[in-house]
Amino acid sequence: MLAFLLPTLLGLILGTFGSIFATIGISLTDWDLLTPAIPAGISNYTDLPADRLFMKSLVNTLAFSALYVPLTIVVSLAVAMGMNRKLWGIGAFRVAYFLPTVSSPTAVGLLWTWIYAEDHGTLNAIITAMGGNPVSWLGPKMALYSVVAVNVWGAIGGGMIIFLAGLQAIPRDYYEVAKLDGATAWQRLRYVTLPALAPSIFFQAVLTTINAFQAFDYIYILTRIGNGNSTMPTLVFSIYRTGFRFFRMGDAAAQAVVLTAIIFVMTAVYFHLQKRWGEPA
Amino acid sequence: MKLLATTAFALALASSAQADTTITYALWGSPAEGAVWTKIATAFEVLHPDIKVNVEVADWDSYWEKLKVQVAGGTPPDVFAMDAPLFADWQSRNVLLDLKPYIDKDPAILDGVYPITLKAYNTGTGIFGLPRDFQTIVLYYNKDMFDAAGLAYPTDAWTYDDLRATAKKLTLDKNGDGTTDQWGFWDGGYDMEPFWGALVWAYGGDVVDPAAGKTLIASPEATAAFQLFDDMWLTDKSLPTEQQLAQFGYDGFLSGVSAMGMSGHWSVPEYSQVTFHWDVAPLPLGPKGRATSVNSAGFVVAKDSKNPDAAWEFVKYAFSDAGQTELAKIGLAIPVRKSVAESPAYLDQATKIDHSLFVKALDYAHLKPVFKGYEEWSSAVGDALNTVWSGENSLQDGLAAAVADGDLALAKNK
């Protein structure tokens, strides 16, 4: 029995746990890839607050996540509820919402740069046709919101599938009983749908948070500038840049550990909340 | 006849028996550049039948990533291309072979090489590389746009104020829809090359101190230089913003939306594909005269190379008149040998512009700084400057942040 599990277990132990411990180990050294690592204690961690490039990427990632996580959950839940009905051609709608999930972020990101383009972009063409002033969608004031919108759009499909599965598992009887008792549509949502969906919502919250902190592809494509840099560097971008371009693997590993710690804490908070609120009242 | 055949057979046998040394030469560049290098390698193999050269070409980003992994893993390419500003990042980590012992045996090979190109690789304790080719920055201008506006072409008497005034005149809304569709100039505003480094020097400022411990771009002279850039970009709006530029790709001159731009010789092959007419002029004069930046690409030999002697033979060949003549034909860069740079191989290229302008620029060129941590410093300074061009920060605040972040990056790389 164990022999059959061995390949997977080995992969887990060496691949996953091995690289986690290696990253923690590297984060306690000064290592430039090319010369032997020098033990550095926790200095890579204590130096992080003074690293302005890192702090900027941390602030960007936190701001992004604060918008992206709730929006993705609310929008994909709303879409799933809209899709949860017997309607001719509903399959086509579901495919349309799921399409971004299976498309290449690089190709789709480039399409969005067209939509957001300042002078010849689709969005500004519509706004100016209606008499408005063109907006600098990817400029410093709007970039965060524009980037969040694209990422939410890209995540609706995945969230919709989870919520749709959750919705279809709710017995029809619940709604009929609620109707007989005179519950309004809002009350049916609040007291039937949401409690029944709680496990899906928590699962989706964990997943979306992890994705938010690791977000990179759309953001980089939409905000990149010459020299391989970005006007909105994220944590993942900072880790890559610090390690592979600045020869500072120890600092990059410390940043990666901080990123993991944030995700770990957020997940723990969700589990705690699920225990408190997830139980039937 | 039989004798001849036997001799040929014996020779073939001997050469195949001798071709036991294989070296690898890695470089960044396009497949077309890789093809020219394979040709140079083949010419080298004819002279040295005992050595085989594998040419490995990759794009800029993957080249450096792959190189780091290969060198860290102890299996580096024997010879690899180096960008001079990044040289110190590698040399200081003790992964490059000191070529001085080889050069001392053969000192004549340095004769006729432009001295400024040798400077980057000479640490004082050794010579850890040889220049392969170099770049100086000149002004490119779109003749069709100048003609349409009835303006005289840039001359060598131009000042930066002339550049500003002309750029403003060439910034137009041609179709009258209320948005600019032609700009007088373009630049990314990020790295000191091609534009702002030369501008700072022409105004009498400097970029970093010689010990690379202090960022100097907020000095009064440098601030005056950046003020001109700020005026052109934010007041006159003669340059497309980063977001506007992104609509046309990242080179405003190439995409035909900007009348002028600054670049090195590396742009010539690409620019010769366009349909409009263009030419080159020296960089304008600043209050402290004319300045441009010179930067070289070089060859380095890995310290862990199993065949350093063969690697050196290849470097020596590519560095020779024969190798440099072949290299000049790529048309991307300027040969480091005076004899080749002043020969038809370089001067009479398919693209008919004054190629000697790039060589003459050496007279007033400053070396693009070479120090450990260049890339980190350049990113720190570039990120801060970018907040000025995007309108988030004033010029004074942006320069102060660039100095603070730049100095932090320099300190981390001491």
| pLDDT exceeds 80 at position A202 | yes
Q: How confident is the model at residue B20 (pLDDT cuts 50, 70, 90)?
A: confident
| pLDDT exceeds 80 at position B3 | no
Q: Is A277 on the interface with B (CB under 8 A)?
A: no
Based on its alpha-carbon atoms, the radius of gyration of chain B, rounded to whole angstroms, reads: 23
Provide the token pair at B197: 């480094």
Residue range B377-389: average pLDDT? Answer: 94
DSSP β-bridge partners for residue B299:
B81, B130
Select the more confidently predicted residue: A20 or B12: A20
Looking up residue B268, the CATH number of its domain turns out to be 3.40.190.10
Residue range A166-189: average pLDDT? Answer: 91
Whether the Cβ atoms of residue A247 and residue A99 lie closer than 8 Å to each other? no
The count of other CB atoms within 10 Å of the CB of residue A3 is 6
Residues 36 through 65 of chain A touching chain B, CB cutoff 8 Å: 50-53, 56
pLDDT digits (tens, 9 = 90+) for B93-107: 999 999 999 999 999
Give percent of chain B with pLDDT exceeding 70.
95
Indicate whether B274 and B393 sit together in one domain. Answer: yes
Strands (E), B60-158: 79-83, 130-136, 138-142
Indicate whether B285 and B310 sit together in one domain. Answer: no
Q: How confident is the model at residue A152 (pLDDT cuts 50, 70, 90)?
A: very high
How much is the pTM? 0.88
The whole domain housing B55 covers: 16-134+295-357
Indicate whether B91 and B180 sit together in one domain. Answer: no
Residue range A209-234: average pLDDT? Answer: 89
Q: Is residue A2 part of a domain?
A: no
Indicate whether B290 and B321 sit together in one domain. Answer: no
Select the more confidently predicted residue: B76 or B36: B76
Q: How confident is the model at residue B297 (pLDDT cuts 50, 70, 90)?
A: very high
Residues of B in contact with A240 (CB under 8 A): none
Indicate whether B211 and B288 sit together in one domain. Answer: yes
Residue range B204-231: average pLDDT? Answer: 96
Q: Is residue A191 part of a domain?
A: yes
Looking up residue A236, the CATH number of its domain turns out to be 1.10.3720.10
Indicate whether B288 and B345 sit together in one domain. Answer: no
Provide the token pair at A20: 């986690």
What b/e string do you get for B34-61 counting C-beta neighbours within 10 Å, with b at 16 or more? bebbeebbeebbeebeebbbebebbeee
Q: Is residue B328 part of a domain?
A: yes
Q: Is residue B363 part of a domain?
A: no
Q: Is A227 on the interface with B (CB under 8 A)?
A: yes
Q: Report how many domains make up chain B.
A: 2
pLDDT at residue B17 in the model? 44
Helix (H), strand (E), coil (C) string for A97-141? HHHHHHCCHHHHHHHHHHHHCCCCCHHHHHHHHCCCCCCCCCCCC
Q: Is residue A18 part of a domain?
A: no
Indicate whether B215 and B190 sit together in one domain. Answer: yes
Indicate whether B384 and B402 sit together in one domain. Answer: yes
Distance from CA of A264 to the nearest CA of B (A): 30
The whole domain housing A170 covers: 51-247+255-277
- In sign, the C-alpha dihedral spanning B379, B381, B384, B390 is negative
Domain boundary at B335, B357, B379, which?
B357
pLDDT digits (tens, 9 = 90+) for B164-201: 999 999 999 998 888 899 999 999 999 999 999 999 99
Indicate whether B193 and B125 sit together in one domain. Answer: no
Residue range B124-137: average pLDDT? Answer: 95
DSSP codes of every residue in B151-206: -PPP-TT-BHHHHHHHHHHT-B-TT-SSS--BEEEE--SSSSTTTHHHHHHHTT--
Q: Is residue A236 part of a domain?
A: yes
Indicate whether B316 and B251 sit together in one domain. Answer: no
Q: Is residue B393 part of a domain?
A: yes
Q: Is residue A196 part of a domain?
A: yes
Q: Is residue A1 part of a domain?
A: no
Q: Report how many domains make up chain A.
A: 1
Q: Is residue B4 part of a domain?
A: no
Q: Is residue B325 part of a domain?
A: yes
* Distances, alpha carbon A216 to alpha carbons A61, A144, B8, in Å: 10, 13, 61
Q: Is residue A61 part of a domain?
A: yes
pLDDT at residue B260 in the model? 98
Indicate whether B375 and B279 sit together in one domain. Answer: yes
Mutation to test the A interface, candidates B243, B247, B389, B403, most A Cβ within 10 Å: B243
Distance from CA of B86 to the nearest CA of A (A): 10
Q: Is residue B8 part of a domain?
A: no
